[in-house]
């Protein structure tokens, strides 16, 4: 592992977290916890730490030669406020598709089949038999037709489901967001897999939720603010809808928040992408991005340039 600030052959300095060691065929600087302890003046390519918070992103302002920042998350909204002019920002497209899709299916199955109820009943030796809802024969509307949404669809189809994909615009096999008013009343499960931006913030509001059929399940593996929490809370408190949430707004959810204790709600602590599948896929992506950078080619998964 090189912690000495070695310049790569073209003179460009690359700064990566040490758990990506082996991802590059060129000399780089690896940092252990924070890049702040290393010289930043000549850094041109920077990978902030995964789930490192605003501190790692804020370091971009101290890198005057920075030209590309490669995130290790699919979401990029938190990085935009820290992005200097002329810096190309790339997200981790494809890195978290498998893990997040697994969790989306897992949350759906757990909620429909009552696995969370069974787990809570074990300490009191309660035998909760009875008929539960099968995933088979359900109609699942997946909102978000990018890598994660497609990965969810591929995993749902073998369960004998009817999957409807929804994207920003209509295309072959994908409905437009504008079609949602006609799709939601027929959905047994609605899965959110969209990025957070101005068009998706608060999209799941009282009107959206009122369009869902009684007993339907909302699964959120996108970002918490895609859903208006108070509106969801009102529907779940009435017992009309169920929810399985890997993300919440606010996040983490306060200990006294009623969503923790409501029947029909299953919460996981934003762990969609944080699995053993993360590192090998992250290393492959970073290796590809550095190879493109060295060859003077455009990187993959550009989400923003400057502010």
Q: Count how many residues are written for the chain.
A: 307
Q: What is the mean pLDDT of residues 69-88?
A: 95
As a whole number of angstroms, the distance between CA 262 and CA 249 comes to: 16
Distance CA(181)–CA(8), nearest Å, equals 53
Residue range 25-33: average pLDDT? 85
pLDDT in tens, 90-108: 999 999 999 999 999 999 9
Residues with catalytic function = 223, 251, 270
Does the pTM exceed 0.85?
yes
Q: How far apart are CA 159 and CA 135, in angstroms?
A: 7
What letters, b where the CB count within 10 A reaches 16 and e where it falls short, cover 77-104? bebeebbbeebbbbbbbbbbbbbbbbbb
**Domain with residues 97-267, CATH architecture:** 3-Layer(aba) Sandwich (3.40)
- Whether 231 shows a pLDDT value over 70: the answer reads yes
CATH number of 13-95+276-305: 3.40.50.720
| pLDDT at residue 6 greater than cutoff 70 | no
**Mind listing the pLDDT tens digit for each residue in 126-135?**
999 999 999 9
Per-residue confidence (pLDDT) for residue 7, from 0 to 100: 33
Banded model confidence at residue 12, pLDDT cuts 50, 70, 90: low
Residue 8: DSSP 8-state: P
What does the domain layout of the chain look like in residue ranges?
Answer: 13-95+276-305, 97-267
Terminal Cα distance for the chain, rounded: 34
Phi/psi of residue 209, each to 5°?
A: -65, -35
Range 268-273, long-range pairs (CB < 8 A, 24+ positions): 268/103, 268/107, 268/244, 270/246, 271/103, 271/246, 272/96, 272/99, 272/100, 272/103, 272/104, 272/221, 272/246, 272/247, 273/73, 273/74, 273/95, 273/96, 273/99, 273/100
Confirm whether 13-95+276-305 and 97-267 share one CATH topology.
yes
């Amino acid at each position: 592992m090189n912690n000495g600030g070695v310049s790569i052959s073209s003179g460009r300095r690359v700064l990566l977290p040490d758990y990506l060691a082996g991802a590059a065929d060129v000399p780089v600087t690896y940092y252990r916890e924070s890049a702040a302890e290393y010289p930043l003046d000549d850094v041109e390519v920077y990978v902030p730490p995964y789930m490192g918070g605003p501190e790692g992103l804020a370091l971009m302002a101290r890198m005057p030669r920075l030209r590309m920042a490669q995130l290790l998350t699919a979401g990029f909204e938190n990085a935009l406020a820290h992005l200097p002019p002329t810096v190309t920002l790339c997200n981790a497209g494809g890195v978290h598709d498998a893990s997040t899709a697994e969790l989306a299916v897992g949350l759906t199955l757990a909620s429909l089949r009552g696995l969370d109820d069974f787990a809570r009943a074990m300490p009191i030796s309660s035998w909760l038999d009875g008929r539960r809802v099968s995933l088979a024969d359900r109609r699942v509307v997946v909102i978000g037709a990018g890598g994660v949404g497609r990965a969810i669809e591929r995993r749902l189809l073998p369960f004998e489901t009817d999957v409807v994909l929804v994207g920003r615009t209509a295309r072959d096999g994908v409905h437009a967001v504008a079609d949602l008013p006609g799709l939601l009343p027929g959905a047994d499960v609605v899965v959110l897999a969209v990025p957070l931006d101005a068009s998706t913030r608060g999209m799941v509001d009282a009107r959206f939720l009122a369009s869902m059929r009684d007993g339907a399940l909302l699964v959120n593996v996108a970002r918490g603010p895609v859903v208006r929490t108070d509106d969801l809370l009102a529907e779940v408190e009435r017992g009309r809808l169920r929810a399985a949430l890997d993300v919440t707004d606010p996040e983490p959810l306060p200990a006294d928040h009623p969503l923790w204790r409501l029947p029909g709600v299953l919460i996981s602590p934003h762990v969609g992408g944080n699995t053993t599948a993360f590192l090998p896929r992250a290393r492959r992506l970073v290796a590809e991005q550095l190879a493109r950078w060295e060859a003077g080619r455009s990187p993959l998964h550009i989400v923003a340039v400057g502010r």
